[in-house]
Amino acid sequence: MPYKPIEIEGMLTKKLGMLSEKADHTWFRFEIDGLPPIRTKLPAHKEDIRDKLESRIYKQLRVRKLFFHELMNCTKYRADYIKQIKEEPYPPFSILFV
């Protein structure tokens, strides 16, 4: 089931504690000691997030699709996310996004 941008925004800000910056899109930033900053963005529209954009978001968050869905479905939490990106980020931080 596709998610709405507002649902993903809630997970990013309320569950993960990411900081948001509004511009043409809403940017989200997560920083933790010892790791590069994690950034992603959401579109300004209210339409469902389709597979291609969802894929870009969970890759920018450095998690796999299943983990992203577990975050969205409230079976994974902030502590799980921090552990995941410290121990097994996917894709690894050596892969940069433009």
pLDDT in tens, 4-46: 999 999 999 999 999 999 888 899 999 999 999 999 999 988 8
Supply the range of the domain harboring residue 30: 5-87
Residue 1 pLDDT:
79
Residue 80 lies in a domain: yes
Burial of 69 per CB tally in 10 Å (0-12, 13-18, 19+): middle
Q: How many structural domains is the chain composed of? A: 1
pTM for the model: 0.93
CB 85 within 8 A of CB 35: yes
CATH of the domain at 21: 3.30.920
- 55 pLDDT band, cuts 50/70/90, is very high
Instruction: Print burial letters for 23-36: b (CB count within 10 Å at least 16), e (below 16).
Output: eeebebebeeeeee
Residue 71 lies in a domain: yes
Residue 47 lies in a domain: yes
Residue 27 lies in a domain: yes
